[in-house]
């Protein structure tokens, strides 16, 4: 059996009881190490799980998936993913490879940023998922509801020169921050204004920045887009929400995280129970 096990938001104790039981019985345990990061190191996980973990980077998962699946038809193999296995990033390719090889699989779900994002007070039912490659893509400005944008993660990436030369030399890890995403959105706003194109958002649009959700040092700020461009929320991982139509209770919750007293002054009522910026 191939088990895809969600680890939760990153702490050693975020694993479910069912997931921990699976880890302890598997012959090999792989730790996916490129779509997200942990708030603790690999060694801390190994000590808590009582198992050696094999790091599975992008190259292994995408090019050497057969090694992960080796023997999974006669023994149990676990593939650990931060958050939920089918949360922000899916691993459908691995599942399809297993099925094609006649290997059974089972998914052990866990919490991910997709459901934990409700800690900022916005109703999850009103969230749409935005592009995961940063805020530069102008499609993320389609303001149908609240829009959740994942910050870009670049781990074990090669420069174009090293890639062309076939040299396995990797760039330092880079993680997009809330202020970087906000700056990119502001650039889009300025460019569209210069082209006299319709603006879906502006410098005064209320947004929410979140960092390290679920960790003891998680950070949440709410304010105008231009204010978030100046916020430092510390280390990764970061997410940015562009708000759409807000319920009064959502507004009250956002006031708890306002960067400045005037952060929500741009909100206006569209009817007796809806706010928008």
- pLDDT reported for residue 243: 93
**Domain around 131:** 114-255
CATH code of the domain covering residue 87: 3.40.1010.10
Mean pLDDT of all residues in 107-119: 91
170 and 206 share one domain? yes
End residue of a domain, out of 111, 144, 161? 111
50/178 same-domain check: no
- The answer on pLDDT for 257 being more than 90 is yes
Does the pLDDT at position 185 exceed 80? yes
pLDDT digits (tens, 9 = 90+) for 217-247: 999 999 999 999 999 999 988 999 999 889 9
Residue 276 lies in a domain: no
Lowest mean pLDDT among 2-16, 178-192, 227-241, 259-273: 259-273
Identify whether residues 118 and 245 lie together within a single domain.
yes
Any idea what DSSP says for residue 12? G
Q: Which of 35-39, 56-60, 138-142, 255-259 has the highest mean pLDDT?
A: 255-259
What pLDDT is recorded for position 132? 44
Strands 274-276 and 268-271, by their bridges, are antiparallel
Q: Which residues pair with 223 in a beta bridge?
A: 207
Q: Is residue 82 part of a domain?
A: yes
The confidence score (pLDDT) of residue 175 equals 83
CATH code of residue 166: 3.30.950.10
Position 273 scores a pLDDT of: 79
Q: In this structure, what token pair is assigned to residue 64?
A: 């050497």
**Of the candidate ranges 24-38, 67-81, 95-109, the one whose mean pLDDT is the lowest:** 24-38
pLDDT score at 124: 67
pLDDT band at 90 (very low <50, low <70, confident <90, very high): low
Q: According to the model, what pLDDT value does residue 113 have?
A: 87
> Does residue 275 form part of some domain?
no
- The answer to whether position 29 is within a domain reads yes
Strands ordered across the beta sheet of 219-224: 127-129, 146-150, 238-242, 206-211, 219-224
pLDDT, tens digit (0-9, with 9 covering 90-100), for 133-183: 444 455 444 444 788 888 777 766 667 776 777 777 766 777 899 999 999
Between 37 and 133, residue with greater pLDDT: 37
Confidence of residue 81 (pLDDT cuts 50, 70, 90): very high
| pTM, to two decimals | 0.82
Same domain, 106 and 226: no
The total number of structural domains in the chain stands at 2
Residues 248 and 137 occupy one common structural domain: yes
Q: Note whether residue 277 is domain-resident.
A: no
Instruction: Calculate Rg over the CA atoms of the chain.
Output: 21
Is residue 111 over pLDDT 70?
Answer: yes
Contacts of 259 (CB under 8 A, 6+ apart): 221, 222, 223, 227, 228, 231
Average pLDDT score over residue span 66-75: 94
Tokens 């993320």 -> residue: 140
* Contact (Cβ atoms closer than 8 angstroms) between residue 225 and residue 182: yes
Q: What is the mean pLDDT of the chain?
A: 86
Closest residue by Cα to residue 111 from 88, 141, 78 = 88
pLDDT of residue 89: 61
CA separation for the pair 129, 148 (Å, rounded): 5
Residue entry with tokens 């059996």: 1
Query: Is 149 domain-assigned?
Result: yes
Question: Do the domain assignments include residue 260?
Answer: no
CB 108 within 8 A of CB 6: yes
Q: Is residue 156 a part of any domain in this protein? A: yes
% of the chain exceeding 70 in pLDDT: 86
């Amino acid at each position: 059996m191939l088990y895809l096990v969600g680890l939760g938001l990153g702490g050693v104790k975020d694993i479910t009881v069912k997931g921990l039981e699976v880890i302890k019985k598997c012959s090999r345990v792989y730790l996916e190490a490129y779509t997200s990061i942990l708030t603790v190191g690999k060694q801390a996980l190994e000590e808590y799980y009582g198992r050696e973990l094999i790091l599975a980077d992008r190259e292994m998962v995408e090019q050497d998936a057969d090694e992960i699946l080796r023997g999974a038809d006669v023994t149990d193999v676990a593939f650990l993913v931060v958050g939920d296995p089918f949360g922000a990033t899916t691993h459908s390719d691995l599942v399809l490879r297993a099925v094609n090889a006649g290997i059974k699989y089972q998914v052990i779900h866990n919490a991910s940023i997709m459901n934990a994002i409700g800690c900022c007070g916005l109703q999850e039912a009103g969230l749409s998922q935005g592009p995961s490659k940063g805020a530069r893509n102008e499609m993320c400005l389609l303001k149908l509801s609240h829009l959740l944008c994942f910050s870009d993660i670049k781990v074990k990436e090669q420069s174009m020169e090293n890639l062309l030369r076939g040299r396995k030399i990797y760039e330092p890890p880079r993680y997009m921050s809330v202020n970087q995403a906000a700056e990119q959105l502001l650039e889009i706003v300025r460019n569209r204004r210069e082209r006299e194109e319709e603006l879906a958002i502006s410098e005064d649009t209320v947004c929410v920045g979140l960092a390290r959700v679920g960790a003891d040092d998680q950070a949440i700020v709410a304010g105008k887009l231009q204010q978030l461009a100046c916020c430092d929320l510390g280390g990764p991982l970061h997410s940015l929400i562009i708000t759409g139509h807000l319920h009064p209770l959502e507004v009250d919750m956002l006031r708890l995280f306002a960067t400045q007293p005037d952060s929500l002054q741009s909100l206006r009522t569209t009817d007796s129970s809806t706010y928008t910026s």
